[in-house]
Amino acid sequence: MKRIGLLLFVFSFICFFGVAGASAKEDSKESLGEQLFMKHCSKCHPNGGNVITVTKTLNPKDREANEIKTEEDVIKLMRNPGPGMVKFGKDVISEKDAKAIAAYIFKTFK
């Protein structure tokens, strides 16, 4: 009986800290995405808006209207933008950082 109690305790401990660790990683990714967005994107997209083309904001309705349906679409646009948007090549924003920015956009601007 003691063995079962010990196993349950160890299992609970691992589950708790495993979930807490995953949550911390997710928070870290969000924080990174926010920091990178503020550094590279917020001048033209303050609060998810667009100071260059007002119909191309980061809100879901405008994203959908402009065929930006996935985080991958955001990254493609960063790499090969249309008129008025700065190009962010892999030499400027790594793939990991681009994914963090895209995730931040989809999580923040709803």
Per-residue model confidence as pLDDT tens digits over 32-41: 999 999 999 9
> Does residue 49 lie in a domain region?
yes
* Residue 88 token pair: 């962010």
> Does residue 15 lie in a domain region?
no
Determine the 3-state secondary structure of 70 from DSSP: coil
> Does residue 24 lie in a domain region?
no
> Does residue 2 lie in a domain region?
no
Q: Which domain holds residue 98?
A: 33-108
> Does residue 14 lie in a domain region?
no
> Does residue 52 lie in a domain region?
yes
Report how many domains make up the chain.
Answer: 1
CATH code, domain carrying 49:
1.10.760.10
Which pTM was predicted? 0.74
Query: What was the pLDDT predicted at 6?
Result: 46
Per-residue model confidence as pLDDT tens digits over 27-86: 665 699 999 999 999 999 999 999 999 999 999 999 999 999 999 999 999 999 999 999
Cα separation, 60 vs 64, whole angstroms: 6
pLDDT band at 18 (very low <50, low <70, confident <90, very high): low
